[in-house]
């Protein structure tokens, strides 16, 4: 009997030590996003995955005032306790340190130097990103962004050094596709979101966003279609910003890299 107890204990410890965080994405992996803004700015994102449903390539193409700029993660390397992303345009390396399936730190190396990024979670939901740069006017660690959730894991706020927003979550529209909802800006860490290593996503969609600085309100409207969804953000002036998401077909064979 004692032998069986020891065996069961070893099995329990094995699975406990190898526990992985819940998968952020299930079957609906986002492969293409087009953002269109009232000032004619467009941002187009192309996302590829390997045959294990892991992020393999991420490209942002931004066009604004006739100028085109790029941000690209052209390759990703997966190790036991880290995910390494390579930025070919700006010659940067993002080395994400992993714990239980989520990134807790990122060491960013570029031609201009190196800095550290720390990610904080509450019940597997990302709540804060902090950057520690060697040269910073903040004279120490600087909060890149804060994300707030209520007790039901619905996103109710976002704040960085430029924006301060309050969200009113929908009571009926679930975030079943695990979208990165605007205006939650992750900047250079957005590829990590699509890699599924920045925690769980908000449970419900947002139906209204309020700017805490100005009081301006923006309404959110959603339209589902086969293998995709369009989100329209309408401000009080009637101006619209659109986000069009395309999901990888379940029968589609992932890109081989």
pLDDT in tens, 113-130: 999 999 999 999 999 999
| pLDDT of 14 higher than 60 | no
Under 8 Å between Cβ of 145 and 158: yes
Asked whether residue 140 carries a pLDDT value surpassing 90, the answer given is: no
Confirm if 203 and 230 have CB atoms less than 8 A apart.
no
Confidence of residue 250 (pLDDT cuts 50, 70, 90): low
Residue 141 to residue 145: CA distance in whole angstroms: 12
Confidence of residue 87 (pLDDT cuts 50, 70, 90): very high
Distance in angstroms (rounded) separating the CA atoms of residues 47 and 31: 5
* Largest CA-CA distance found in the chain, in angstroms, rounded: 75
Task: Answer yes or no: is pLDDT of 15 > 60.
Answer: no
pLDDT digits (tens, 9 = 90+) for 203-238: 999 999 999 999 999 999 999 998 999 999 999 999
Do the Cβ atoms of 209 and 185 come closer than 8 Å? no
pLDDT band at 10 (very low <50, low <70, confident <90, very high): very low
H-run or E-run covering 165: strand 164-174
**pLDDT, mean over the chain:** 88
Q: Tell me the helices (H) and strands (E) count for the chain, helix number first.
A: 2, 16
Question: Is 6's pLDDT higher than 90?
Answer: no
pLDDT at position 152, please? Answer: 93
- The arithmetic mean of pLDDT across residues 51-71, rounded, is 96
Task: Tell me the domains of the chain and their CATH numbers.
Answer: 27-247 (2.40.160.190)
Torsion of CA 221, 166, 247, 245, to 10 degrees: 50
The pTM of this model reads 0.86
Is the separation of the CB atoms in 7 and 88 below 8 Å?
A: no
Which position has the higher pLDDT, 7 or 167? Answer: 167
Buried b / exposed e across 59-98, counting CB within 10 Å, b at 16+? bbeeeeeeeeeebbbeebeeeeeebebebeeeebebbbbb
């Amino acid at each position: 009997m004692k032998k069986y107890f020891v065996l069961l204990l070893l099995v329990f410890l094995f699975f406990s030590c190898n526990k992985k965080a819940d998968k952020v994405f299930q079957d609906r992996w986002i492969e293409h996003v087009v953002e269109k803004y009232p000032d004619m700015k467009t941002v187009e994102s192309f996302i590829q995955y390997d045959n294990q449903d892991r992020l393999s390539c991420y490209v942002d193409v931004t066009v604004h005032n006739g100028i085109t700029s790029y941000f690209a993660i052209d390759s990703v390397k997966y190790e036991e306790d880290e995910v390494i992303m390579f930025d070919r345009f700006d010659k940067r390396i993002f080395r994400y340190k992993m714990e239980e399936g989520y990134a807790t730190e990122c060491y960013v190396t570029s031609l201009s130097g190196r800095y550290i990024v720390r990610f904080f979670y509450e019940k597997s939901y990302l709540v804060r990103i902090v950057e520690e740069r060697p040269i910073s006017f903040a004279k120490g660690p600087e909060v890149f962004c804060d994300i707030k959730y209520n007790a039901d894991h619905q996103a109710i706020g976002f704040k960085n050094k430029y924006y301060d927003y309050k969200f009113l979550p929908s009571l009926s529209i679930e975030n079943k596709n695990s979208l990165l909802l605007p205006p939650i800006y992750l900047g250079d860490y957005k590829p990590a979101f699509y890699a599924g290593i920045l925690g769980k996503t908000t449970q419900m969609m947002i139906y209204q966003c309020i700017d805490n600085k100005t009081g301006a309100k923006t309404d959110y409207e959603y339209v589902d279609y086969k293998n995709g969804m369009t989100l329209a953000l309408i401000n009080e002036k009637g101006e619209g910003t659109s986000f069009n998401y395309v999901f990888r077909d379940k029968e589609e064979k992932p890109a081989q890299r």
